[in-house]
Amino acid sequence: MKALKLLLYPLCVFTLLSACKDKLPAPDTIEAERTVIIYMMAENSLNRFSANDINEIRQAYGNIPQNTNLIVYVDNSSLPVIYNVTAKKGFVEWKAYAQDQISTDSTVMQRTLKEITTKFPAKHYGLVLWSHGSGWVPQKRSIGIDNGKNTSSNSGLQMNIPTLRGVLETLPHMKFILFDACTMQSIEVAYELRRVARYVIASPAEIPNPGAPYERMVKPFFSIPFNAEAVVDEYFRF
């Protein structure tokens, strides 16, 4: 079995060596170098922090290189929306949903991510999963909460890690997955995701409610070749 390399930071990187009102303007059909998707499951007590992180991304969209895509899916106390973020145009609403959906439902996540990866094809993909997380805590082992009520309640559907793996197996292989969520760095989670991503970046402990400093992290998201340590360093310095 090939070795699993572990960088021992408070925020850690696993190198996995196994490898409606819908608005749908036609995207550039040329294959991009990298598409990074931020999937924000914020229909819970983290609702208000989603707006803060969107503002941080706005501060940094000038760092998005040409021939790359940054796609932000947001489901908070409002109806879900998908933004296409570029250095040239900033935040552009690409799709606005006419009805709410449960973003932690496996069918919804698979359909949404499949649509994005199809419409924004790339040589490499990165995925940020933004929400609450319980890692491999007994009886939970989950990522995300969606209460289905557009409120700040934490009573709602969570996605367990094996189900997440099943969703990601239907998508293109990810260059990296960043969990902007608590307690998602563990051997069990890494093992579950060993075939769907090269790098799993996460924290073994709780993280502050504000989450990742996106104004600092957008640039390393698009580093060529991808520099996982740079992502970790920016988060850790923050």
pLDDT per residue as tens digits for the range 89-134: 999 999 999 999 999 999 999 999 999 999 999 999 999 999 999 9
CB 113 within 8 A of CB 171: yes
DSSP alpha helix (H) spans, the chain: 47-60, 106-119, 161-168, 187-192, 214-221, 228-237
Round the average pLDDT of the chain to a whole number and report it: 89
CB 38 within 8 A of CB 70: yes
Q: Is the pLDDT of residue 230 over 90?
A: yes
DSSP state of 224: S
Tokens coding 105: 């439902």
Question: Dihedrals φ, ψ of 39, to 5°?
Answer: -110, 100
Task: For residue 62, count other CB atoms closer than 10 A to its CB.
Answer: 12
CA distance linking residue 10 with residue 166, whole number of Å: 28
Q: What is the pLDDT of residues 141-200, one digit of tens each?
A: 899 999 999 999 999 999 999 999 999 999 999 999 999 999 999 999 999 999 999 999
- Residue 14, CA atoms < 13 Å, CB-side half-sphere: 28
Amino acid (1-letter code) at residue 20: C
**Whole-prediction pTM value?**
0.88
Tokens coding 66: 């040409």
CA distance linking residue 178 with residue 221, whole number of Å: 10
Window from 16-25, 35-44, 106-115, 213-222 with minimum mean pLDDT:
16-25
Query: What is the model's pLDDT at position 136?
Result: 83
